[in-house]
């Protein structure tokens, strides 16, 4: 279904843009494809740290595969679809089981890769049934996911009473697409609720920025005893949130009474992101509001996510055209600060912080020092995937 709907349009766009690409002095592919091809070259048979390791099931894999999927939709080249199938088939059994997936963990991070399952479940010539069965398993987790008193998903079972910004991207685009595909309109109401609770409990009214986490119990060391909020603004957390907003809208019915509410959240966030963009580099800092503080640095993954969300928001008419300039400045910052051209002709992406969390062992206290303590990596999936998606948006904007 998706194949027949998208591929003719993709081929039409490819034909329409071919003269621009082929009459240049050098036949250079768009950066989205260059990075996608580089990625496939690094991990031809898996997404693990070694090329021959069986792919893990996780949110990092999910965002990288979604980026590859977008390149396939844009170009119509079968090799990208074949790659998605190859990686997914490491993880999915013919009975729909998911390798190393444990429902009892109730971990929202396990939902994100399900978006690729929904795509593959609609492609002619594939074993659609097994992908659908696996997607049903993930949806079952969401049906049973522990929640706060007013219905906000716990990020994981082992993080009781806690909502994290990350969780919105992990669960809600999957949930919205699932609701559309399987005609379950009540699912859309639940998606809106998750965003509304984040806006209620995690948005700082002074700056408009969003705190990384919220602890309903106020028991965590990192939680403010009055508000339950974590102490700092982490840019990638807000990046996940911004991407989730523009992606769930792809599936929301135009006449849904709360669709406008989601657009308003994006419109509220966009000027905040523009305010905290580094005027020198065009990128965004690891700790969003403390760019001048010693040790802070511009971070790749968050910057890619913000560029993607802003550019897509402009393209689809959710945001005013002035944010196109913000996205363009941010994208130029990505190219200047983080993209590296390798001797073998591939691309690399520098500057992605490896992780950011709260609590756990060893304990992560959400302090400024904590966010600066995590290592920075090259070619991290959480940066590469959003870079590909940001590049696609900017390439579409140019056309």
- Which tokens belong to 318? 């959710």
Q: What angle do CA 163, 254, 118 make, to 5 degrees?
A: 60
**Catalytic residue among 166, 215, 247, 380, which?**
166
Let me know: does 374 contact 287? Beta carbons within 8 Å: no
Q: What angle do CA 313, 272, 235 make, to 5 degrees?
A: 90
Q: How many CA atoms lie within 13 A of 315 on its CB side?
A: 21
Let me know: does 338 contact 320? Beta carbons within 8 Å: no
φ, ψ at 340 (rounded to 5°):
-125, 130
Let me know: does 327 contact 394? Beta carbons within 8 Å: yes
Start-to-end Cα distance in the chain: 26
CA distances from 334 to 33, 78, 349, 352 (A): 16, 28, 9, 11
Task: Tell me, yes or no, if 166 is annotated catalytic.
Answer: yes
- Just list the catalytic residues: 166
């Amino acid at each position: 279904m998706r194949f027949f709907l998208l591929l003719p349009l993709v081929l039409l766009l490819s034909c329409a843009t071919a003269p621009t690409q082929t009459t240049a002095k050098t036949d250079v592919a768009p950066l989205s494809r260059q990075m996608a091809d580089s990625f496939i070259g690094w991990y031809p048979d898996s997404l693990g740290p070694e090329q021959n390791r069986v792919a893990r099931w996780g949110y990092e894999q999910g965002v990288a595969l979604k980026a590859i999927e977008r390149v396939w939709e844009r170009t119509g080249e079968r090799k990208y679809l074949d790659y998605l199938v190859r990686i997914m088939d490491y993880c999915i059994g013919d009975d729909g089981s998911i390798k190393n997936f444990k429902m009892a963990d109730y971990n929202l991070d396990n939902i994100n890769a399900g978006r690729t399952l929904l795509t593959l479940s609609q492609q002619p010539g594939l074993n659609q049934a097994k992908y659908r069965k696996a997607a049903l398993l993930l949806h079952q987790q969401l049906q049973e996911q522990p929640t706060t008193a007013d219905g906000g998903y716990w990020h994981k079972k082992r993080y009781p009473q806690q909502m994290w910004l990350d969780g919105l991207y992990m669960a809600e685009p999957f949930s919205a697409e699932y609701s559309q595909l399987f005609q379950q309109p009540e699912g859309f109401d639940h998606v809106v609720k998750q965003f509304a609770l984040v806006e209620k409990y995690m948005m700082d009214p002074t700056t408009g920025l969003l705190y990384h986490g919220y602890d309903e119990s106020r028991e965590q060391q990192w939680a403010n005893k009055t508000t339950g909020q974590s102490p700092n603004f982490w840019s990638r957390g807000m990046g996940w949130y911004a991407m989730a907003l523009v992606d769930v809208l792809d599936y929301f019915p135009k006449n849904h009474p709360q669709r406008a509410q989601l657009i308003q959240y994006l419109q509220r966030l966009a000027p905040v992101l523009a305010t905290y963009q580094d005027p020198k580099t065009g990128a965004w800092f690891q700790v969003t509001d403390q760019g001048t503080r010693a040790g802070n640095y511009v971070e790749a993954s968050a910057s890619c996510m913000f560029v993607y969300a802003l550019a897509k928001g402009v393209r689809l008419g959710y945001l005013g055209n002035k944010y196109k300039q913000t996205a363009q400045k941010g994208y130029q910052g990505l190219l200047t600060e983080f993209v590296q051209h390798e001797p073998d002709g591939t691309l690399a992406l520098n500057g992605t912080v490896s992780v950011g969390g709260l609590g756990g062992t060893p304990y992560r206290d959400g302090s400024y020092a904590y966010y600066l303590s995590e290592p920075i990596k090259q070619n991290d999936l959480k940066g590469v995937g959003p870079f590909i998606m940001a590049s696609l948006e900017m390439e579409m904007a140019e056309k």
